[in-house]
Copies of this chain bind each other. A is one copy, B any other.
């Protein structure tokens, strides 16, 4: 308000969206990245990993959507503490352009967040519909007219190459996903090993198409369940020791553990269907919807990120 008490509205803001790039060389064009994380639990390793990302943090905005329940309150408190430290007293080059935390207004559909409970087949539809709505709400409210890329990272992704953003962008694809693995210790040999984690990145199969063709309109196909063998080709199993980390493969479904998207794909309308869309839901439905918008998805079989192991 001015001194005479009058309300002085801000001047009109103009955006020339055709000058905005999402290129193989985002740094050169000073492209802005929006990192989006639906967060039910806070992991220190996730935060540490974010801080190490080499892409200039002043070009990165972080946004979180966190459930409004007891776990969510605890996660918010932890996150807020790390943010304050980084943004106020941390090294200048670690500070992000801006950070948004949204507390979500709907309940988590499952009573327990344990890995076993989360992955039960009968829980998938409700759970992934809720996840879709959380992702959409976060996306619709934080994507701006000058965002070049959206990088989705789950809060339990605890290890990525520090050049993740530059590496993924360099492929210049509308949608691209790394291969998501999980480290674990062999029970018997006590050896450190790793195994594939995210089964939502895949190439379609005739068997899956036939299954879909015989389903009710609201039924969804799920991946990684013996009861529903789809014989899709999973990105998870395309990994080869010593394979080229730059090798690309076409995908029909993508996972959201780490998922890089040119912002225009979302702006054209691609979201995470919270309903059966061609018998797909959430991130897998997103890839299908993007396809219908003329945007293709790719995976990097030999470029890995790691999921937390409970």
Contacts and interface: CB of A to CB of B under 8 A. Distances in A.
B15 A101 contact: yes
A268 B134 CA distance: 7
A7 B58 contact: yes
A79 B296 CA distance: 37
Interface residues of A, number: 54
A172 interface: no
Q: Is the interface of A mostly helix, strand, loop or mixed?
A: mixed
A212 interface: no
A280 interface: no
A13 to B, nearest CB: 5
Contacts of A266: 140
A269 B10 contact: no
A92 B6 contact: yes
A152 to B, nearest CB: 15
Interface string A259-299: 00000001111011111000000000000000011000000
Interface of A: 6-7, 9-18, 20, 58, 68, 80, 83-84, 87, 92, 95-105, 132-133, 136-137, 139-145, 147, 266-269, 271-275, 292-293
24 contacts: A7-B58, A9-B99, A12-B80, A12-B101, A13-B99, A14-B101, A15-B102, A16-B103, A17-B103, A17-B105, A18-B68, A18-B104, A132-B269, A133-B267, A133-B268, A136-B267, A136-B269, A139-B140, A141-B147, A141-B267, A268-B274, A271-B271, A275-B292, A275-B293
